[in-house]
Amino acid sequence: MHILVVDDSAFMRMRTANLLKGAGYEVIEAENGRVAVEVYKQRRPAVVLMDITMPEMDGLEALRAIKEVDRDANVVMVSALAQSSLIMEAIQAGARDFVVKPYQPDRLLFAVRKVLGGNTEGECGATCSGG
């Protein structure tokens, strides 16, 4: 199962990719929203984990573009920007979840499993509360 990790920070992509690979997922990476939309069209990953603030095309624009291609796309926004208005905008645009950076590994894996429809009961504990 492929997960697309979209972040302009190579370090964050590597950290997230290593976490996901350790949990048994295959990872595809993109460095900005424009590349993410193209990769999504070609590969149709099961989940997209996407930063908001990126050059060329930000995460919200990319989210909308991906949803135009596939309205059922599983997109989780992952951002240090935790303003409630931004979270609401992402959810209204079709994001399935919003994880605040720096994230706890359990919280990110919980979000992935949740959007995939997996059993998450009792899995996350206190690290999941509040995002």
- The per-residue pLDDT for range 60-104, each reduced to its tens digit, is 999 999 999 999 999 999 998 777 888 899 999 999 999 999 999
Which has the closest alpha carbon to 10: 28, 29, 23? 29
**Cα→Cα distances 89→42, 85, 93, 125, Å:** 26, 6, 6, 27
Is 14 exposed, middle or buried (CB count within 10 Å of its CB: 0-12, 13-18, 19+)? middle
What integer pLDDT is reported at residue 87 of this predicted model? Answer: 87
Tokens matching residue 76: 């989780």
Residue 18 in this model has a pLDDT that exceeds 50: yes
Across residues 37-54, what is the average pLDDT? 97
Tokens matching residue 28: 């595809």
Q: Sorting pLDDT into bands at 50, 70 and 90, what band is 34? A: very high
Domain 2-128 falls in which CATH fold?
Rossmann fold (3.40.50)
- Report pTM: 0.89
Strand ranges (E), 31-123: 47-50, 75-79, 97-100
